Structure 1
Amino acid sequence: MSSPLRIRMYNVGLGDCFLVSIPARTETKHVLIDFGSTRGKNKDDLLAIGQDILETIGDEPISVILTHGHLDHLKGLHYLLDELDERVTAFLTTKHLWSMSSSRLGTSEGPVRSLISDLIEDRKPSEEEEELVQNRANSSEMIDQICSQLGKRVRYLTRGARQVLGMFLRGTGASIEVLAPEKDIDRYVERIFSKVKESTKKIGRGLILEKIKERISSRHGLKDLLLQERSLDNSTSLVLELGWEDKRILLPGDAEIESWKIMSQEDVLRPFDVLKVSHHASSNGTPNASEKIWTSIYDVSRNPSFLISTYPRKDWGMPDRELLDFLKSKGSITSSEKMSSMYTDYFCK
């Protein structure tokens, strides 16, 4: 009987950190999927988790996946960057990873991204907006540092990417398929920035950029735009299906409902054995309200399990209690919400 695949879920407060350890013939190969936090854990806590990750992998191979560019998924990676730089084989992330230094005004979301930056610069954010503003700036800076330091090992992915960690996974029997995001970001922009999409489309028709900004600014507040921008980042998360032996492990990052709808349209969803519950068990991260989407990923005969990395945040509805009750009725749950230890291990056999 082969050794089990292990998924180690770290207790990072409000964030994600999963270390997948896959047995191979002569060694174990490790894939670190996200590592960050914004609430519930301080820098010392994350450094301790980072040390455990390094001790766990030892001299064995490791690759890193960043599903999207939010602090609750990348802050710990930034703290661990120098150590990872010496060891990491590949660093995979979404093609739509965004930072202020890489913003492209010629894209459909460009004017909105640019407007948000201008609004932050021109007016003092409210106390309610300040956390979003600071997280935006910090994540942008950390993304740039990570991608710059890891250089050619960084690969930006969309659905249909070929040979994802193919050489790295050789000998494990495992494979990774990218289910999302789509290459065309407009499919997400049109859904998520629906209130401003008519303004943003004008950029391609010769309308002066400043006029577009004025129009959007007059109709939408900074907080509204910041939250829509976060939703776009979430919905362009890398969504991965990790196959190992006869198991399917679905890893959707923080994908929101709009991403699930597009995956359903593209007919890429299959029943899972293990689901990493999206977006910290908030109501907008799991497609249970859509019978069509849910039945495409859920099959009771597979004895499904749910892994939930979450931390109470009432203003954002995390975790959503109705969703937790629903998932409990559908399979076994492992949650970090009340976890007192640094991590918990889940084994696929």
Structure 2
Amino acid sequence: MTAPKSIRIRMYQVGFGDCFLLSFDYAPKPSRHVLIDCGSMASPKGSAPGLIKRVAASIAGTVGDEPFAVVATHRHTDHVSGFDPGANGKGAGAIIAALKPKFVVQPWTEDPSLPVDAEAPAARRGMALRRKTLDDLNVVASQIVDQYVPRLRRSQAVRGIAGQLDFIGKDNIKNLRAVENLMTMAPNDYVHAGRATRLTRFLPGVRVHVLGPPTIGQYGKVRGQRARDEEQFWHLQARSLGMGARVGLTRSDSLFKGFPSAPGRHAPVSSRWLINAMKSENAEQLLQLVRILDDAMNNTSLILLFECGDRRLLFPGDAQIENWEYALKTPSLRKHLEKISVYKVGHHGSLNATPKSLWKIWFPEGGGQQGAGRRMVSLLSTLEGKHGKRENDSEVPRRKLVDALKSKTTMKSTESIGEAEYHDEVIAID
């Protein structure tokens, strides 16, 4: 089979989430399709219930009985909730599974056969409890959402923080039905930076490069997440994240046993300022905790590059700086990041998911686009007002990045399309 004549990219309106269908035209033979993520954390305002199921039905109508494969870049809810078959077995995930994908591509960290301390596939020793830590943090996020958010919402002083806690916390709660469906709907291809993927054999004439995530053995810095990097992040000044939240206290616990106490509104007026300050500090610490989990999960995100002829399509999921750094510092991987034709904007346009060092490869200072000839297309799947805030330069999408994308690329955003619709980008292969 020869190379495809064109690649059609459909970017679906799922609100705050990602859902992309790549269709490779091999006419007169059947097209081949690759679904990259299917999930949402928040639908556009005014959307009717069942948005993600309608999107799945649209995908099924396009794929039909043609060859099909699935990619789940990482297990955040806004990327995998569409793979949930539903309690009744009739949800979006059941529709996708019925298309009988040939295989499912996931990051190496999702391989259930790995020991919990694995540094890499087949490793016997390594980073202590890496995978178990992610699972335990999922439990923490669930506890925060279930126990703390309702309590904080009752306080006017921290109601805004409670909303962010609820959103980010739910994004990090393990969607068990979706995860199990991804593991069982087809054979799994667990990959890491530099490893070959079944996608290359599935797509004749297309080379698919896995640029991330690295294993712990390849790049130890992926263990952590830095909150501030003015040379790489799209901000003016960002606030460092700390850790110090205490979770697990029950309402009956007392910090000062034997001393007089007064609950809530019955506290003396003179002490209420202190109570509000402590509530605010507690809420901020809980928010920092769920952000740490959010960052940890993003460092497991796949970074895939599809190369066909002189066209290069880059899909990085939610990868952020520690994940990107390995590819940027490894010459054999870095070379694939040059002359990009289509860029799926990382992490819905957040400040730390499109490193400035990557941007400078494409747009050197004082010059035009590297390898100019065709203007880069950028695809942004996002929903404003759901993640971060402008006061500390963490809003998603980051305005400074969006302005640069509009200036240097042909930017297409889900915010400009209606419910359950999609942007349709056709890439001709010369």
Deviation at 1:196, TM superposition (A): 8.8
Aligned residue identity for 1:95? W
- Is the Cα–Cα contact under 8 Å of residues 109 and 189 in structure 1 kept in the other structure? no
**Percent sequence identity over matched residues?**
28
- How far did 1:71 drift? 1.0
| 1:139-168 residue CA offsets vs partner (Å, 9 max, x unmatched) | 3413432234325x1121101122432332
* One-letter identity of the residue aligned with 1:277: V
Distance of aligned partners of 1:119 and 1:227 in 2 relative to their CA distance in 1, 3 Å threshold:
closer
Separation (CA, whole Å) in 1 of partners of 2:386 and 2:418: 21
Change (3 A) 1:43 1:88: farther
Cα distance in 1 for partners of 2:177, 2:22 equals: 23
Contact 1:98–1:140, Cα closer than 8 Å, also in 2: no
Query: CA separation in 2, counterparts of 1:310 and 1:195?
Result: 23
**How far did 1:118 drift?**
5.7
User: In the aligned structure 2, how far is the partner of 1:14 from the partner of 1:65?
Assistant: 18
Where does residue 215 of structure 2 map in the other structure? 183
After TM superposition, the score normalised by the length of structure 2 is 0.67
Is 1:284 the counterpart of 2:352? The answer is yes
1:200 corresponds in structure 2 to: none
Q: CA RMSD in A?
A: 3.2
Q: Does 1:71 align with 2:81?
A: no
- Distance change in 2, residues 1:4/1:115 (3 Å): closer
The 10-residue stretch of structure 1 (104-113 or 305-314) with the greater mean CA deviation from structure 2: 104-113
Q: Could you tell me how far 1:43 is from its partner in structure 2?
A: 4.8
SS of corresponding position for 1:329: helix
Quote the residue 1:21 is aligned against: 23
Gap change, CA 1:281 and 1:102, over 3 Å in 2: same
> Given the two structures, how large is their TM-score scaled by the length of structure 1?
0.81
Structure 2 residue 299 is the aligned partner of structure 1 residue 296: no
Aligned length: 320
Residue in 2 aligned with 1:5? 7
- Maintained 8 Å contact 1:67/1:93: yes
Match of residue 333 from structure 1: 411
Larger radius of gyration: 2
Number of the residue aligned with 2:314: 250
Q: Which residue of 2 aligns with 1:81?
A: 93
SS of residue matched to 2:348:
helix
The separation in 1 between residues aligned to 2:299 and 2:62, in whole angstroms, is: 31
Match of 1:236 among 300, 306, 309: 300
The reply to whether residue 92 of structure 1 matches residue 98 of structure 2 is no
- Quote the residue 2:277 is aligned against: none
Counterparts of residues 41-52 of structure 1 (less than 5 Å): 41=44, 43-52=49-58
- Amino acid in the other structure paired with 2:378: F
Q: Against the structure 1 CA distance between its residues 233 and 297, is the aligned structure 2 distance closer, same or farther, given a 3 Å change threshold?
A: farther
Is the 2:141–2:172 contact (alpha carbons within 8 Å) kept by the matching residues of 1? Answer: no
Q: When you count helix as a share of all residues, which structure comes out higher? A: 1
C-alpha contact (below 8 Å) 1:9/1:18 kept by paired residues: yes
1:135: Cα distance to partner? Answer: 3.5
The counterpart of 1:125, out of the listed 148, 152, 169, is 148
Deviation at residue 262 of structure 1 after TM alignment: 2.4
User: Structure 2: how far apart are the matches of 1:13 and 1:115?
Assistant: 25
Aligned counterparts of 2:62 and 2:320: Cα–Cα separation in 1: 32
Greater shift after overlay, 15-24 or 70-79?
70-79
1:59 and 1:120 map into 2 onto residues whose CA distance is 38
Q: Which amino acid in structure 1 is aligned with residue 195 of structure 2?
A: A
Q: Give the Cα separation in 2 of the matches to 1:59 and 1:110.
A: 38
Kept in 2, the 8 Å contact 1:47–1:80? The answer is: yes
Q: Distance in 2 between matches of 1:189 and 1:163?
A: 24
Q: 1:96 Cα shift?
A: 2.0
Q: 1:174 aligns with which of 206, 219, 238?
A: 206
Amino acid in the other structure paired with 2:37: D
Change (3 A) 1:120 1:29: closer
Q: Choose from 405, 412, 422 the match for 1:343.
A: 422
For residues 237-262 of structure 1, the C-alpha deviation after alignment (integer angstroms, 9 at most, x for no partner) is: 10000012210001110111222222
Is 1:39 the counterpart of 2:42? The answer is yes
Q: For residues 112 and 44 of structure 1, what CA distance do their matches in structure 2 show?
A: 29
> Do 2:141 and 2:170's aligned partners in 1 also have CA atoms closer than 8 Å?
no
Deviation at 1:304, TM superposition (A): 1.0
Long gaps (5+) in structure 1:
198-217
Change (3 A) 1:102 1:56: same
Rate the CA distance shift 1:62–1:235 in 2: closer, same or farther, 3 A.
same
